[in-house]
Structure 1
């Protein structure tokens, strides 16, 4: 695991991870958003020339995080599977082998918009599936970044990225964490996902992921 960046949010200590995940030490919980397992397979089934090995890459990163961190639970903030085509035999077989390696770990999926279309993960994966929100401590864990009264929302869905500008026209478009006053966003965990550009203002903090580290902006 690369170097974690500690932050304080809603009275809780959290770690931002360069692997585009969040760790909550008090709950020994690893949070990831928008893995989109099987997205590449779904696109290839439609005849689109897209890269192979994205499911394996995502699993390898998860394995590394779970080996490095004391985790009692893994929480997916929506979009575990990309779509109906994600139920390809090779994808489900890889996920079954991965789940077997972590058979004692509690896993929860907060159902996202892609999960509704793809269907829940197979029961054999032993992943608890719940609708949003999942209330834990001071947080409302969600897929959609909609406000929740008296709780700070941690969500996915947006796939936030931030453009760092250099001299002239030089710029870098990097995945980021965006922490707002009431709603905070995690970057998309999946290796084959797009991104939506977010801006910084006086009421938010942005942390970009780059060079296997977390960098605060501004």
Structure 2
């Protein structure tokens, strides 16, 4: 695996291809927008969505925990997609087997009763969690005096290649005052971002995180020449 490293507000952060962020100084592993139970929610409504997506999501989470050995796993909202369905129990079993601290910043989809989170050993925060120079939240909002780290958007970018080839990839987006994490879940979709200078963009493939910021700089220069 090829990770990327960024320095933000004097802190070193690692970006993992599995769409996770790691803060080494405090040993925090951070993910956003798992949307567990989403496929089951829509299958119940008649949509033909494949099974096994939540299992794959939890397997990736297991691999990250084994790699980083974090002291805290922070979910930046939208852990579970909607009301209770049969996909909550596998997560509950997974959560109860963990020894690290589990913390959820509540997102707009996190509508389960509080006792569900308590049973899973999850601490919850509504709004913003402040730690170090960072403000951790579900939705991207500026926080005076702090660098904001959030999810919610499910950011992605389109990269163009030869012969009009193009590919859409999830990404980490870093602006001057905040950053947005990619969605960790398997069935979340992507919202296309159009980065501006001096934004930094890191795309996630299966095995690497790539800084593609210069790709957008070149595209802007080509458009200016046209």
Q: Are residue 88 (structure 1) and residue 85 (structure 2) matched?
A: yes
In the alignment, the residues of structure 1 paired with residue 92 and residue 150 of structure 2 have an alpha-carbon distance, to the nearest angstrom, of 26
Shift of 1:105: 1.2
Give the structure with higher Rg (CA): 2
Q: Are residue 29 (structure 1) and residue 28 (structure 2) matched?
A: yes
Q: Are residue 127 (structure 1) and residue 126 (structure 2) matched?
A: no
Cross-structure match for 2:179: 184
Cross-structure match for 1:98: 94
Shift of 1:118: 4.3
Shift of 1:54: 1.2
In the alignment, the residues of structure 1 paired with residue 156 and residue 51 of structure 2 have an alpha-carbon distance, to the nearest angstrom, of 23
Deviating 4+ runs (over 6 angstroms): none
Shift of 1:169: 2.2
Root mean square deviation of aligned Cα: 1.2
Cross-structure match for 2:196: 201
Paired residue secondary structure (1:27): coil
Shift of 1:71: 0.5
In the alignment, the residues of structure 1 paired with residue 42 and residue 61 of structure 2 have an alpha-carbon distance, to the nearest angstrom, of 23
Tell whether the 8 Å contact from 1:208 to 1:215 is kept in structure 2 after alignment. Answer: yes
Map residues 29-178 of structure 1 onto 2, 5 A cutoff: 29-84=28-83, 87-89=84-86, 91-102=87-98, 104-115=99-110, 117-120=111-114, 121-178=116-173
Paired residue secondary structure (2:162): coil
Paired residue secondary structure (1:63): helix
In the alignment, the residues of structure 2 paired with residue 185 and residue 56 of structure 1 have an alpha-carbon distance, to the nearest angstrom, of 25
TM-score (norm 1): 0.94
In the alignment, the residues of structure 1 paired with residue 163 and residue 134 of structure 2 have an alpha-carbon distance, to the nearest angstrom, of 41
Give the total of aligned pairs. 212
In the alignment, the residues of structure 1 paired with residue 118 and residue 53 of structure 2 have an alpha-carbon distance, to the nearest angstrom, of 23
In the alignment, the residues of structure 2 paired with residue 92 and residue 166 of structure 1 have an alpha-carbon distance, to the nearest angstrom, of 41
Shift of 1:170: 1.1
Can you give the 5+ residue segments of structure 1 that lack an aligned partner in the other structure? none
Please list the CA deviations of residues 32-66 of structure 1 after superposition, one character each: whole Å capped at 9, or x if unmatched. Answer: 01000100010111111101111101110010000
Can you give the 5+ residue segments of structure 2 that lack an aligned partner in the other structure? 215-226
Shift of 1:211: 4.0
